[in-house]
Chain A
């Protein structure tokens, strides 16, 4: 079974530029998560989708971050404009969405804002 795919693996941009990350979840997984992991910290949930609807985006900085999940499958996370403090690993995860089912994580995209 193919895992969660993310691209790119690494990205370096200058502050105030824009960037987009792509995630392809495991086939059949209804729930998709985007997490931000700053160096030395645990993952922080940015947004959670159930199919193509948003379940939780309470910690998404909506003035600069946006996310969508087209047709309930792939998802993109965009930052515009980027700030230095956005430097982090952005992890995508997916799960079946049933009670207690585990989330499977991609390898992440490491973003460096200079």
Chain B
């Protein structure tokens, strides 16, 4: 069965600082991997996805993520965060064939001035 672990429940960073959110997955084959962001009261918006090819993926809003098969990880990074990045971030893994998406428990990001 596929699963996702986001070990950090809550992260606080200063505006302008760099950010890394961790994601580890469990899946028997090559997975699809996604990062979604959720602002309060809103649905989920896709930041980026990994399907195949280049393991460093660029997304919207200046985010990037790196797929590391040996570590079963897909960490999200941003070199300099903005106050508007404060939100909940979810990592998800998808499976071939039935396109089922399994989400992690999320990481809440707080930005301090």
Binding site for B on A (CB under 8 A): 4, 31, 33, 35, 40-45, 48, 50, 55-56, 91, 93, 95, 97, 99-108
Contacts and interface: CB of A to CB of B under 8 A. Distances in A.
Interface residues of B, number: 26
Of all A-B residue pairs in the complex, the 9 with the closest CB atoms, nearest first, are: A105-B43, A42-B103, A100-B51, A105-B44, A42-B105, A107-B43, A102-B46, A43-B103, A100-B32
Contact of B106 (A33, A41, A95): A41
Contacts of B34: 102
Contacts of A45: 100-102
Nearest to A41: B105
B49 A100 contact: yes
B80 interface: no
30 contacts: A35-B103, A40-B105, A41-B105, A41-B106, A42-B4, A42-B104, A42-B106, A43-B44, A45-B100, A45-B102, A48-B98, A48-B99, A55-B98, A95-B99, A99-B96, A100-B32, A100-B49, A100-B51, A101-B99, A102-B49, A103-B101, A104-B46, A105-B36, A105-B43, A105-B44, A105-B45, A106-B43, A107-B41, A107-B43, A108-B43
Contacts of A56: 98, 100
Nearest to B51: A100
Contacts of A42: 4, 6, 90, 103-106
Nearest to B103: A42
Interface in B37-66: 41-46, 49, 51-52
Interface of B: 4, 6, 32, 34, 36, 41-46, 49, 51-52, 90, 94, 96, 98-106
A91 B98 contact: no
Contacts of B42: 107-108
Contacts of B102: 45
Contacts of B49: 100, 102
B101 A33 contact: yes
